[in-house]
Chains A and B, each alone.
Chain A
Amino acid sequence: MRFCLLLLCFILSKSICAQSYASNPADVDLQQLNVAVINQHGQPLNFYEDLIKAKRVAINFVFTQCLTSCPLSVAIFRQVQVKLAKQAISLISISVDPSHDTPESLLKLSQKFHAQAPWDFITGDPVVITQLLKTLGSYTADKNAHSNMVLISQADGRQWTKLYGFPQPKAIITALTATPDQKF
């Protein structure tokens, strides 16, 4: 009996396993990144000053009640972290559900996947986080429709790269380790 191609085609058509592709988006407004957030340890941070400035950063978007794509996103980031252990890179996972995601619930999520520093799971005032997500081009009114893209920031946030289509660790690593302005 033929295996149901529906099982494959729908998934493939949504490019979960398709090649992830990158685009260099319009500049992200750095002023809009100067906002107060809080990480999984309850530590208050300035998003730009503490997490973006002078760092190579990969950002993904998750929420703790998401059981489908988010665990996978976090697992992928952990793989990236392991493979780039000796390199100076930072990871950020931003909650798209700041109304419900507390530092404690984000800490639980990070511990499940053995996330190590420097990897910040971010939440905060819902108004502030919503604006942050809009600035990064990742806001959706329905958290369940959130994007699985990964944002890479280099050069103090002056160069951004978006990886769509559920990027695999290799693609993220390539983007993170590229020199600024390098095409890949």
Chain B
Amino acid sequence: MLLLIIGNWMAAVDAHSQDAELLLGRSIYHKGTDASGSLIRAQLALTGQVFPATEFACVNCHGVDGEAGQEGEVSIPAINAPQLLARNSASSVLKVITQGLNNRQQAISPAMPRYTLSRAQGQALLRYLSILGSAEDLDPGVTDSEVHFATLLPLTGKLSARGQALQSTLATCIARVNRQGLIYGRKLVLDVIDYQSSPEQLVAASKRLLLAGRSFALLSGDVPEDNVKFYTFWEQTRTPVIAPLTFNPQPHAADSFFYFLPSWADQARALLDYWLDYRPQARRTLPKLIVVYDERINTTKLVTSALAQQIQRQHLPKSTISFISLAAKLGAGEQQELTNAEAIFFVAEADAIKTFIAQQPELSEKIWLGLLDMLGPNFAKLSRNSLWISPFLENHVGEQDVACAAVDFAVAGLKVAGKHLRQAHFLKALTQLESFAVKSMPAFKFDANQRVGARGGFISIWDATTLTFRQVNDWIMPLETEIKR
């Protein structure tokens, strides 16, 4: 009995080791790095320059399945499992990879870099090459019967209520999808990772997730506004990241990221456009807008810069808009500007502004403009006359709808990507989807330069008489070209 237990334990360890080796080999081939992020060097034979192998990963030339190809004047031979290791010794293949020499000690094409691999890395890569492109070669998180999506949520800590609500929503939506039928014989499985409401823990949790090697893609998930480290980590892994819930998408994001929600900057621009066109004095006087901002918020600079650019696009003089920091002591000039202003655009959180407003009672007579999801509806209710923008429509489109839409988007991509499921094919399928929409939001269309699905939002007025928000139009998108006045 003891021998049986030990035998089973050793088998489990051995299986685990093999899985870890395969995972390593796959990571080296597809990403040019091992999962821990250790540097692998690639030396170009043509120039002697050394680069991180992430820039020259095997997959870049040899493709996801190791099939033959052509790009420009470069012909790429097939190196998938039936072709390569069946006819060549492991040591000779390793010599090609690390020294650029064939078994006659002749230099191979200098187009292929020479890679510096440790013994373990070389063994792992060969192990992976032995199955490359075969039915056994499945991307992380994919089996014959399941495809695993991971989501990073704050299940504990101060944001736990929100995280748990999102968890419940995602689980419900995935269950609905699975009831509708399998996708190429696979059901969706959601793995939820708790990052404990701590932005610092988010990257640590991401690393654990990647090392586990069981996630095909990231789905929805809550990320903090300052999410550069999260983005940088996942961007280099080429793992598909679908609809991270943030109003601060990374500019010029990689094609593995699909943001759904509009940025604060785009919402601000759209709101400004609306106000300029619909203010009662539109035809008679030039507008005068003051932007009151909190420089402690990381995204403030993006928003204030976007508003300044939008004034230019609207062909209005620069004097149309002025900026006042909450941190600055107001001088006589700023006081006068506030007095003369027609409208105030708040780019700050509610608590930061309340003190400022209390000190400037005349502001209650001005029109307030703001981003509803930044300031919150309770702040909006302090105003007498205000315009707000949000991608969410009360009782109709909410954050939970976006989370479910992320599931539907992933499903649509899976159906196009096919039975032999690869992250690369999945990414391509997602980018090719057209007219995907979240309820009454405009349809999304992603491409190489457009990684944010929704831009702008719904405009609503706070009616101080009826104490309600009144939607005033359909979705509005910011103006992108200059207008003539």
List the interface of chain A (C-beta within 8 A of B): 1-4, 6-8, 10-17, 65-72, 75-76, 78-79, 100, 102, 104-105, 108, 112, 144-148, 164-166, 168-169
Contact = CB atoms under 8 A, between A and B. Distances in A.
Given A15-B73, A72-B44, A148-B74, 13 more contacts: A1-B89, A1-B103, A3-B96, A7-B96, A11-B111, A12-B109, A68-B60, A69-B74, A102-B449, A104-B251, A148-B73, A168-B46, A169-B47
A14 B74 CA distance: 7
Contacts of B47: 75-76, 78-79, 168-169
Contact of A8 (B89, B102, B448): B102
A165 B73 contact: yes
Given A1-B87, A68-B71, A165-B73, A16 B252 contact: no
Interface-centre pick from B47, B72, B79, B103 (highest chain A CB count, 10 A): B72
B256 to A, nearest CB: 13
Given A3-B88, A8-B102, A168-B46, A17 B111 contact: yes
B449 A100 contact: yes
A7 B55 CA distance: 22
Contacts of B106: 8
A68 B49 contact: no
A79 B49 contact: yes
Nearest to B448: A100
A16 B56 CA distance: 17
A123 B307 CA distance: 27
B309 interface: no
B7 interface: no
Interface-centre pick from A8, A100, A108 (highest chain B CB count, 10 A): A8
A17 B102 contact: no
Interface residues of B, number: 43
Given A4-B83, A75-B49, A75-B51, A166 B73 contact: yes
Given A11-B75, A66-B72, A69-B73, A17 B109 contact: yes
Which DSSP category, helix, strand, loop or mixed, fits chain B's interface?
A: loop
Given A3-B104, A100-B447, A16 B60 contact: no
B209 interface: no
Given A1-B89, A75-B46, A16 B74 contact: yes
Given A105-B449, A169-B46, A8 B109 contact: yes
B254 to A, nearest CB: 10
10 contacts: A3-B104, A4-B88, A6-B78, A11-B108, A11-B109, A14-B74, A16-B110, A17-B109, A104-B251, A145-B70
B61 A68 contact: yes
Contacts of B55: 71, 112
B448 to A, nearest CB: 4
Contacts of A14: 73-75
A133 to B, nearest CB: 14
Interface in B88-114: 88-89, 92, 96, 102-104, 106-112
Nearest to B47: A79
B84 interface: yes
A166 B111 contact: yes
Interface of B: 44, 46-49, 51, 55-56, 60-61, 68, 70-79, 83-84, 87-89, 92, 96, 102-104, 106-112, 251-252, 447-449
B104 to A, nearest CB: 7
Contacts of A166: 46, 73-74, 111
Given A3-B104, A7-B77, A79-B49, A145 B88 contact: no
B44 A4 contact: no
Nearest to B111: A16
Nearest to A73: B72
A104 B49 CA distance: 25
A73 B151 CA distance: 39
A67 to B, nearest CB: 4
Given A10-B77, A102-B449, A168-B46, A69 B72 contact: yes
A69 B111 contact: yes
Contacts of B102: 3, 7-8
A108 B73 contact: no
Contacts of A15: 73
Given A3-B103, A14-B74, A72 B111 contact: yes
Contact of B72 (A17, A102, A148): A148
Contact of A66 (B71, B87, B104): B71
B108 A65 contact: no
Nearest to B48: A79
Contacts of A11: 74-75, 77, 108-109, 111-112
A152 B67 CA distance: 35
Contacts of A72: 44, 46, 111
Nearest to A8: B108
Contacts of B71: 66, 68-69, 144
A166 B108 CA distance: 15
Which 6 A/B pairs are nearest by Cβ-Cβ distance?
A67-B60, A11-B109, A3-B103, A68-B71, A79-B47, A69-B72
Nearest to A166: B73
Contacts of B79: 7
Contacts of A75: 44, 46-47, 49, 51
A16 B75 CA distance: 9
A108 B55 CA distance: 12
Nearest to B62: A68
A6 B77 contact: yes
